[in-house]
Homo-oligomer: A and B are copies of this chain.
Amino acid sequence: MTKEELFQQIKAKKSYLCVGLDTDINSIPRHLLNEADPVFAFNKQIIEATLDFAVAYKPNLAFYESQGARGWESLAKTMEYLPAEVFTIADAKRGDIGNTSKHYARAFFEQMNFDAITLSPYMGADAVTPYLAYDDKWAILLALTSNDSSRDFEQLAVYDDSNFFNIVPSKLYEYVINKSLAWGHSDKLMYVVGATRADELAHIRKLIPDHFLLVPGVGAQGGSLEEVTKNGMNSQCGLLVNSSRGIIFAGQDEGFARAAGAAAGALQQQMAEYLDRYL
């Protein structure tokens, strides 16, 4: 999907909501366990209930891999079920080099036709550029995440010693952003930026005015949607705000899908208002 197409979807649905399909088989309603594929049965009903309100879906690979080959099949069926106008993100946080990255790209972009994959930047350009070789596919780099231990390395002071006089430090995540700008443009690259840090979101938006940001952590992890929007929105929206448990596990038992639809709808209503106000 192109950046323009994504923006069209955002305007059409008045939403920049991404639904995180963190489908933990231990958390889905018990009655679904009688289905042939409980995880897919759950996802299917969640998608039906939320499709009017969401422009993107983001399966978290861990929850499928922990079910082995069966989980991988549930994921493939989920991907087949999602309509083409939806932006799909493999939340895989892969990061490996050369030939290995090419195989991951094949797995997610060809085998399952995801639009995007999340990547860890630690190994550098080699871990990212193979994904950028695909037309209309996206690499979403971890920049500043919302977990406590983002302080361990992401927020560490670094400097580029290629210039001895340039000892003004930046944080590792800023350096990652700046460095990666040489690898691909804003029609190929996005960044993960945690919603718990609205001030830093504003700072990052200045560094990269044109890029889409994937923002997890609204709701369960405590970020405010209005703060995120105020600090992060650009002229093409530039935001995909993810909610996982807050939507998919909003309700229990037979009413789970209706509750998920209501939770997604409530977020979408706020987003429609913020798109009017801040776009």
Contact = CB atoms under 8 A, between A and B. Distances in A.
Nearest to A24: B103
Given A72-B72, A73-B69, A158-B158, A121 B169 contact: no
Contact of A107 (B62, B123, B159): B62
Contacts of A124: 147-154
A147 B96 CA distance: 10
Q: Which of A99, A100, A106 has the most CB of B within 10 A?
A: A100
A265 to B, nearest CB: 25
A100 B60 contact: yes
Q: Lowest 3 A-B CB distances belong to which pairs? A: A124-B149, A124-B152, A62-B103
B160 A159 contact: no
A153 B126 contact: no
A45 to B, nearest CB: 21
Interface of A: 22, 24, 60, 62-63, 65-70, 72-73, 76, 91, 93-101, 103-104, 106-107, 111-112, 120-127, 142, 145, 147-154, 156-161, 169, 172, 175-176, 179
Contact of A112 (B68, B97, B123, B148): B68
B120 A93 contact: yes
Contacts of A172: 153, 156, 158, 172
A250 to B, nearest CB: 17
22 contacts: A22-B100, A62-B104, A65-B107, A68-B107, A68-B111, A69-B69, A69-B73, A72-B72, A93-B94, A95-B120, A97-B147, A120-B120, A123-B153, A124-B149, A124-B150, A124-B153, A153-B179, A156-B158, A157-B158, A158-B172, A159-B159, A161-B169
